[in-house]
Structure 1
Amino acid sequence: MTATVRHGALAIALVSEHASPLAVLGGVDAGGQNVHVAHLAGALADRGHQVTIHTRRDAPGLPDRVPLSPGVEVCHVPAGPAREIPKDELLPFMPEFGRHLARQWELAPPDLAHSHFWMSGLATLQAARELGVPVTHTYHALGAVKKRHQGVADTSPPERILLERELGESSDRIIATCRDEVVELAALGVPAGRISVVPCGVDTERFTPDGPAAPRGPLPHRLLQIGRLVPRKGAAVSIAALALLPDAELVIAGGPPPGRIGADPEVRRLRALARKAGVADRVRFTGGVPPEDVPALLRSADLVLCPADYEPFGIVTLEAMACGTPVVASAVGGQMDSVADPGSGRLVPPGDPAALAAAASGLLRNPQLRETCGLAGRRRALLRYGWNRVAAATETVYRDVLALRPAAVTGAA
């Protein structure tokens, strides 16, 4: 059965196998992709489309379907045990995921499927091939980049890079989130004609300079790092930089719930580094932060630090900018697109605590400059990264794919 292409509202399937839009952010596998999928779905629904998000059932008792917002529904897919499993261990369950999609889509095929992350892409293609559903794909992260930066610490399945290449060749269109990713995709062998660039977005009505701010500590300045608590995010670099910034506290938000933060291996590693650097009394770990508390936390900071070793896009930079908080980020991946240096923040080399501290110090010493950067960041977020703009650009890609699909089928015949 082939989906009927409609010129008005579309039935869109978003597939996000490990990154549920219902997850609490800050866990090892819960971060920017969860935010991206949830808000893209909502913004597409605001444009009149019907969106279903397919994500793996990772706990017993979850309902088959959960309304997320008007026009958006989350569908829990039974694929593997109904418990949390690290995303790098989910590959064996993707055939089951794909079969479930095929059964659902045979009854009610979407006009188009948009998969997020490589394993979602495999399951989506499996179902879409049988039914003639067009597929767009967003990688969110590439195995070749992860292998380059993590080496032997990379826990990805060994076949990931090969399968990502095949995914790029088989999808109707690849949606890259930044210019740097286009270069990486070309190296992977994805034809340039199959790539469109649409950035990630930010909710500029929720992330604003106006609103409550989280309580501050007694020190003059607050630095904030927020996101998944994994080594590549560079919290160790922030801690080392803190030793050069004596009047500041560093809040590190993310990871397990606050009650379990002390048992987390990454927290223990970072606390040991803080003790060694002599800054343990100025570093605070909050644990995972509910989404509704994130804007107030961002507003409470003088600077937001994003010193990742690599960053496929970096939604935190956008959220900080939308709140009017300047950003000091490593010059990697999508952060080179989102942060305008010197307009809305500073870009520094990755893995360089001295450079991070120098950039932060320059902004901390100059309140007027911080205010100017904050205002510029807010303007940049509004002009470029509002979800309404991102959804419109994404819809344009969808309609291009749907317009080309009949011609491709006719040519094959």
Structure 2
Amino acid sequence: MKIALIAEHTAPLAAHRGEPTCGDSVHVASLSRHLAKLGHRVAVYARKSTSDPVGRSRMGRGVHAEILAAGPDRPLGEHEEADHTGAFATALTGALKDDAPDVVHALGWTSGLAALSAVHGAGGLGDVPVVQTFHSLNATEQRAGLPERPERVRLEAAIAGRADAVAVSSADLRFELARMGLPRHRVAVVPFGVDTDHFSVEGGAATEPWSPRRQDRTRVITVSGLASGGPERLIESMVRLPDAELLVVAAAPLEVALDEDARRLELLAKEAGVDDRVHLMGPVERKELPRLLRSADIFVSADRYDPYGGAVLEAMACGLPVVARAAGGPTGAVLDRTTGLLVRSARPDTLARAVRGMMNEATTRSAHGIAGADRARSRFTWQRVAAETERVYRTALPGGHGLPLAAGDDAH
């Protein structure tokens, strides 16, 4: 099968090289590689936003990236992401006509707009099926306190209604689409994945940047965007956790010494009197991240909204118990009181209480870590994600019989 993965706002080549990138970039690079291992030929189409050249670049056996010129050669902010989708759709239409696929798979709502335009617009591909994946919906983001974007809500509903098949990363998103009027049987739950060959309990642990005066301190780690809200809450919670130290690893490329958010967090830690127990570091290459995770005792996800849950899955695969806010991707990844704790609120006192409970119960903490690693290996491997995605493709092809109700239902 020839598969066209449409991922407008991603950096697939950077993710393929193991550089720090966004969750969608990790998804498209990992999924394409494992679809190719199943015998498919995969082309990833993305807008040029990095120094990677326009045109075709090989990503591995059976996989290549097509970088299309559309708008400025830089990452776009959230409120300008749709501004250049028309230009991207035009470039995509020409590229797909030159190398017609059997199925088109769009990741994210702007990619969905471009894919539907390229397939069904003037001079399009006609009857090639379009599969749409959502890792997030603005309706669910609003429930987590993020801004309302009415136009995006309307477009997400329209894209879901026009696609031949829809996949979402959690049961919560399937429920939200049902509220929008999309029948439950038309939506498959296919979760985000984790490379359990790379992220595992086996291997060494990093010694830095933890304090050499650790003594009996519990090591708490988070991998997060510095503007996501999570680091602030965790730093404030450290006032209530005098026997713990915190490592905040930036999820996006930045220079800590020059970054405004990093300076703000450092000032917050100093004002709270915990700067000797709080460490900030820039993004870590993926080949080094498992050693850093294995050096910690507890992983915490306190972001306002995490659509992917990828960092949580990577921590679980490395054997860490998890404390996570019950919003977005972590709700499908973490089994409450089995692989960690889900908290409804990410207030500093709530986080401190959850972390302190784990600190005081070494046996429970160990059991959560073991269960989390087992769950990552059994449910969230990219091999399984690719196989479930392939099932969705086959139901969307001519002669398919719709999505089986069982597709992804065991995501929890």
Q: Is TM > 0.5 for Structure 1 vs Structure 2?
A: yes
Given that 2:11 and 2:50 are in contact with CA atoms closer than 8 Å, whether structure 1 keeps it comes out as: no
Structure-1 residue corresponding to 2:410: none
Distance 1:61 1:305, change over 3 A: closer
Among 289, 292, 317, the alignment partner of 1:294 is 289
Secondary structure in structure 1 of the residue aligned to 2:397: helix
- State the match for 2:307 in structure 1: 312
Corresponding residue number in structure 2 for 1:275: 270
- When the two chains are superposed, the root-mean-square deviation of aligned CA atoms in Å is 2.2
Distance 1:388 1:268, change over 3 A: same
Are the aligned partners of 2:394 and 2:400 in contact in 1 as well (CA < 8 Å)?
A: no
Q: Could you tell me how far 1:75 is from its partner in structure 2? A: 1.2
Please state how far the C-alpha of 1:324 moved relative to its aligned partner. Answer: 0.7
Partner of 1:209: 201
Report the Cα offset of residue 256 of structure 1.
5.5
The 3-state SS of whatever aligns with 2:131 is strand
Kindly indicate whether the alpha-carbon contact (under 8 Å) linking 1:11 and 1:49 is maintained by their aligned counterparts in 2. yes
1:221 aligns to 2:251 (yes or no): no
How many pairs are equivalent? 391
2:176 is the alignment partner of 1:184: yes
> Which residue does 1:171 correspond to in 2?
163
Partner of 1:96: helix, strand, or coil? Answer: helix
2:235 to 232, 235, 239: 239
Pick from 235, 260, 264: which aligns with 1:265?
260
The one-letter code of the counterpart of 2:262 is V
**For 1:183-223, what per-residue CA distance to the aligned partner results, in whole angstroms no more than 9, with x for missing partners?**
22222333323211111111110001111212132322211
Q: Which residue of 1 aligns with 2:107?
A: 116
> After superposition, where does 1:41-80 map in structure 2 within 5 Å?
41-60=32-51, 62-80=53-71
Query: What SS class does the counterpart of residue 341 from structure 1 fall into?
Result: coil
How far does residue 125 in structure 1 lie from its aligned partner after superposition? Answer: 0.8
- Shift, 1:39, TM fit: 0.9
Deviation of 1:286 (Å): 0.8
The answer on 1:373 being equivalent to 2:374 is no
- What is the Cα deviation at residue 151 of structure 1? 5.2
- Whether 1:199 and 2:191 are equivalent positions in the alignment is yes
- Conserved? CA contact 1:180–1:334, under 8 Å: no
Partner of 1:354 in structure 2?
Answer: 349
Instruction: Tell whether the 8 Å contact from 1:169 to 1:190 is kept in structure 2 after alignment.
Output: yes
Deviations 1:212-247 (A, max 9, x none): 212132322211110333324x12111121111112
Q: Of 58, 62, 84, which aligns to 2:75?
A: 84
User: Residues 84 and 114 from structure 1, CA distance in 2 versus in 1: closer, same or farther, beyond 3 angstroms?
Assistant: same
**Cα drift, residue 92 of structure 1:** 1.9
User: Is the 1:26–1:255 contact (alpha carbons within 8 Å) kept by the matching residues of 2?
Assistant: no
Contact map agreement 2:48 2:69 (CA 8 A) in 1: yes
What amino acid is the match of 2:118? Answer: A
Candidates 250, 253, 256, aligned match of 1:254: 250
More divergent stretch after superposition (378-387 vs 210-219): 210-219
SS in 1 for 2:42: strand
Q: Secondary structure at the match of 1:395?
A: helix
Change (3 A) 1:280 1:404: farther
TM-score (norm 2): 0.89
Which aligned segments of 4 or more residues in structure 1 are displaced greater than 6 angstroms? 24-27
Answer whether contact 2:224 2:303 (CA < 8 A) is retained. Answer: no
Structure 2 regions of 5+ residues with no counterpart? 403-412
CA contact (8 A) 1:31 1:228 kept: no
Using the alignment, how far apart are the partners of 1:77 and 1:338 within structure 2? 34
Q: Deviations over 1:258-295 (max 9, x none)?
A: 6x223323223322322232212211111122121211
Give the AA of the match of 1:381: A
Percentage of pairs with the same residue: 39
CA shift, 1:358, in A, is 1.6
Separation in 2, partners of 1:104, 1:317: 36
1:3 corresponds to which residue?
Answer: none
Letter of the aligned partner of 1:217 in structure 2? Answer: S
- With over 3 angstroms needed to count, the CA separation of the structure-2 counterparts of 1:231 and 1:60, relative to structure 1, is closer
Unaligned runs of 5+ in 1: 1-9, 408-413
TM-score, length-scaled by structure 1: 0.88
Q: Secondary structure at the match of 1:174?
A: strand
Q: Larger % of helix: which?
A: 1
Separation in 2 of the partners of 1:257 and 1:103? 32
- Aligned to 1:160, which of 152, 158, 181? 152
Q: Does 1:398 align with 2:393?
A: yes
